[in-house]
Amino acid sequence: MNRRPSVVILCPQEFKFTDHEATVERPFLRDVADLKTVWLGYNAPFPDEVLDADALILWHGPQVTEQVVARMKNCRAIIRNGVGFDSVDIAAAARAGIPVCNVPDYGTEEVADHAMALTLALYRQLFPLDAEAKQLGWKINVAAKMRRLRGQTFGIVGLGRIGTAAALRAKAFGFRVVFHDPYVPVGTHKAVGVERMASLEELLRTADTVSIHCPLNDETRGMIGAPQVAQMKRGSFLVNTARGDVVQKQPVFEALRSGHLGGAGLDVVEAEPLRTAEEAATPNLIVTCHAAFCSPEGMVEMRSTSASIARAAVLGQPVWNRVN
What's residue 82's pLDDT?
87
196 phi and psi, to 5 degrees?
-95, 135
Domain ranges across the chain: 6-106+295-314, 108-287
Q: 177 CB contacts (<8 Å, ≥6 apart)?
A: 153, 154, 155, 156, 167, 170, 171, 193, 194, 195
Q: Is 296 helix (H, G, I), strand (E, B) or coil?
A: helix
The helix (H) or strand (E) run that includes residue 156 is: strand 153-157
- Same CATH fold assignment for domains 6-106+295-314 and 108-287: yes
Regions of the chain where pLDDT drops below 50: none
What's residue 13's pLDDT?
83
Neighbour order of strands in the sheet with 153-157: 195-196, 176-180, 153-157, 209-212, 236-240, 261-266, 285-287
- C-beta atoms surrounding 245 within 10 Å: 18
Give, rounded to a whole angstrom, the gap between the first and last alpha carbons of the chain: 33
Rounded to two decimals, the pTM is: 0.87
Q: Report, as residue numbers or ranges, the catalytic residues.
A: 243, 272, 290
What's residue 1's pLDDT?
53
What's residue 31's pLDDT?
96
Candidate CATH numbers 3.40.50.720, 3.40.1640.10, 2.70.50.60, 2.140.10.10; the one for domain 6-106+295-314:
3.40.50.720
Q: Does domain 108-287 have CATH number 3.40.50.720?
A: yes
**Apex 162 CA angle, 14 and 65, nearest 5:** 40
